[in-house]
Chain A
């Protein structure tokens, strides 16, 4: 994406379109990545509830893969995940490994 020059931007940094935050892929900030272990998941949707962004995709009442475009890797989902029989369904892994 070509960055705008100072003559092309709106005064006072006003954003004139609604919903433009979807264009800002904050997933690039991530240092740790949540990994979903499907066999340990009880579909409680705690991860979806606690996610401060909207990085847990849900379809027909069931969670699906993470939306890594927006997941900043805060780790709240992994902390809250009750897992199954003591085994977490979300674990954090360092990016780049």
Chain B
């Protein structure tokens, strides 16, 4: 029987969660994530999973319940979007500081005000320093595949960190695409049985969690979180290798597209990468050497690998679907940090695009490529940071 279905991104991720069969799921509805958790709640009601579903009164409580469940020794999941992630803020740091491997799909949405429910990376970008691992997904297939791989990364005994799987709100969460599922048994074997570290329910060994740590030790605990993060890269690559064996689909720290011999390049996250690749093909036919890099692992950020991949370019544009008002976009600053140690680095510009779900169209990619051609030829930049497709 074929495992190929026409499903939305939310449906694909909900199905991955069903196959994972977590012990506890605490969730609160928020657009565009609602449909994901609604589908998962149906699996719970239909007895297709053994999960204890906790319906809470806010995202702050959802993450708190996940922290409790995970500390008790269970495999805990939730999902959220935009303002829901913002409301979890405090507890995101509790989850990572307590080293609890919670899995959370984040269906990326903008932040208010003005009130907006659409696809935008402001939510997860704001949480980039919360100590969570972040995987980003271009389409429903990648969102499904990343969800299946996420727990193996989070629960690795060398790291024990919570993990977000990011997918674009509406553009991916609500669009129907071709997705190839793995068999239930294959996913079950792949994610294996959860082995908790120091679970509270091990009552033969009483312990305290979440203690007060004063200035004499706080820095040391933060240093251990950095150490754990520094081990994530290799575990992501090892997990991707194992995943390729069961799926035939290959993943890495980032994806490159026609970049090896490129002279100009674009760095862009998630769904807009697909549109950009199509436009790159058009320019390649005209003989323009343009390529793309799409980050997958954003936290921890693979600085060295990205430096080696981009340093040969003459001009580079980093596109951010998120703004940092009065500063460069968050992806731009990371790419700039990567390239700083390079002797020959490209001229770099930053474009803010697609905020609040504004469509990113092929003509936007064309504007960027035309500007990069001009910069590569003249070495001159008009504006280092600008807005793509904004009306004057």
> Is A3's beta carbon under 8 Å from chain B?
yes
A12 to B198 CA separation, bound complex (whole angstroms): 10
Per-residue contact bits, chain A 16-27, to B (CB 8 Å; 1 contact, 0 not): 111010000000
Cβ B198 vs Cβ A9 within 8 A:
no
- Cβ of B96 to closest chain A Cβ, rounded Å: 9
For chain A, which range describes its interface: under 10, 10 to 19, 20 to 34, or 35 or more residues? 10 to 19
A13 to B225 CA separation, bound complex (whole angstroms): 11
Cβ A13 vs Cβ B206 within 8 A:
no
> Is B205's beta carbon under 8 Å from chain A?
yes
> Is A5's beta carbon under 8 Å from chain B?
yes
List which B207-245 residues lie within 8 A (CB) of chain A: 207-211, 213, 216-217, 219-221, 223-224, 227-228
A6 to B216 CA separation, bound complex (whole angstroms): 11
Q: Pick the contact of A12: B160, B206, B219 (CB < 8 A).
A: B160
**Would you call the interface of chain B mostly helix, strand, loop, or mixed?**
loop
A12 to B228 CA separation, bound complex (whole angstroms): 11
> Is B98's beta carbon under 8 Å from chain A?
yes
> Is A15's beta carbon under 8 Å from chain B?
yes
Cβ A4 vs Cβ B217 within 8 A:
yes
Q: Pick the contact of B221: A3, A9, A15 (CB < 8 A).
A: A9
Assuming A13-B221, A14-B209, what are 20 further A-B pairs, CB within 8 angstroms?
A4-B217, A6-B220, A6-B221, A6-B224, A6-B227, A11-B198, A11-B224, A12-B198, A13-B98, A13-B210, A13-B211, A14-B98, A14-B207, A15-B207, A15-B208, A15-B209, A15-B211, A16-B205, A18-B207, A20-B208
Ordered nearest first, which 10 A-B pairs have the shortest CB separation?
A12-B99, A6-B220, A15-B208, A6-B223, A18-B206, A12-B98, A11-B99, A14-B198, A16-B207, A6-B224
Q: Give the B-binding residues of A (Cβ under 8 A).
A: 3-6, 9-18, 20
